[in-house]
Amino acid sequence: MYAIVEIAGQQFKVAKDQKVYVHRLPEAEGSKVTFDNVMLIEDKGNVTIGAPAIEGAGVTAKILGHLKGDKVIVFKKKRRKGYKKKNGHRQYLTEIQIEGISASGVKKAAAKKEAPKAEAKEESKDLSSMTVAELKALAKEKGISGYTSLKKAELIEALSK
């Protein structure tokens, strides 16, 4: 059984007990993570393809450690001009071990919803600490006409109404 799953913006073909190096994940070492963006699952000849992802499918993995990849040298040169530029890069990686692949029963991670009413109250209190450009952008969002010629104090007064 294998699956094609998107992890940290890249797609990987994974199987149970496989170790994979992926771009750095924010979770701590030893923690378990679930990836719910599964594009394809193959199980004993049965292939399930998602459009774009399979609903309810998931891949669970354990984070083994955080490390840095091999150094890559970037060298640029223009002949007969005396131009040489040498840079190096080491990618931050996370080593994970795939613990299981499930075709159904995995809940999607709930998207964090912020209360827009709470933000509106905070904005009215902090209008004086905002820049003129931010105030003008806020006035444009609220549909206030003639905001471009207003000064900071006038913008604050118009937005607080």
The domain limits of the chain are 2-102, 124-160
Cα distance between residue 46 and residue 87, in whole Å:
47
Q: Between these two residues, 114 and 52, which has the higher pLDDT value?
A: 52
The pLDDT of residue 7 is: 96
pLDDT classification of 9: cutoffs 50, 70, 90: very high
Phi then psi dihedrals of residue 96, to 5 deg:
-120, 155
**Angle ∠(57,59,62) on CA atoms, nearest 5:** 155
Cα distance between residue 13 and residue 25, in whole Å:
18
Give per-residue pLDDT as tens, 13-44.
999 999 999 999 999 999 999 999 999 999 99
The pLDDT of residue 33 is: 96
Max Cα separation, the chain?
69
Give per-residue pLDDT as tens, 86-126.
999 999 999 999 999 998 878 776 555 555 555 555 555 67
Residue 94: Cβ-neighbour burial (10 angstroms; 0-12, 13-18, 19+): buried
Phi then psi dihedrals of residue 8, to 5 deg:
55, 40
The pLDDT of residue 101 is: 95
Q: Between these two residues, 138 and 126, which has the higher pLDDT value?
A: 138
